[in-house]
Amino acid sequence: MRFHSLLRASLLIVGGALTFVTQVSHADLLIEHVTVVSPELPKPLPNRYVLVHDGRIAAIGERQPKASPGTARLDGRGKFLTPGLMDSHVHVSDSGGLPFLSDDPAVAGLRQQYFRQQPRSCMDGSIAFSLTSR
């Protein structure tokens, strides 16, 4: 239980910092020494460097990537980063936030993308339904 509370708090801190830096300055961001947790990996990857370019993750690695001058840096020691985690509180049979009945092709496209992403975004039940990210 304590692990989940720490994970939740760490995600909020890293996510908030990432949102702040990308919205305020449009500068690249390098998160250093963070533990990466992914639903596509069998276990967390400790002490990683994560480079964010134009608001998207551009690189994840054990070695520090080349970053442009002016890149903002965030110390991720003791924190967790979960790329691509979505709010899994919604029912998996429903595309949350979209109109249930709609003839709009844009809504249909969003619904298809949601269901294509959904299996990769749900981690095991112990944490998938206890986290909320932006």
Mean pLDDT in residue range 2-6 = 54
The most confident of the ranges 33-47, 88-102, 118-132 is 33-47
CB distance 88 to 39 below 8 Å:
no
Q: Domain segments of the chain: what residues?
A: 2-81, 87-129
What would the pLDDT profile of 38-54 be if each residue is shown by its tens digit?
878 889 999 999 999 98
pTM: 0.49
Residue pLDDT, tens place only, 55-84: 888 999 999 998 888 899 999 999 999 876
Mean pLDDT of the chain: 74
CATH number of the 2-81 domain:
2.30.40.10
Long-range contacts of 60-65 (CB under 8 A, 24+ apart): 60/36, 64/30, 64/32, 65/30
d(CA 21, CA 110): 27
For residue 88, with 0-12 CB atoms within 10 Å meaning exposed, 13-18 middle and 19 or more buried, which class applies? Answer: buried
11-40 tens-digit pLDDT: 555 555 555 444 444 679 999 999 999 878
Look up tokens 């992914």; give the residue.
38
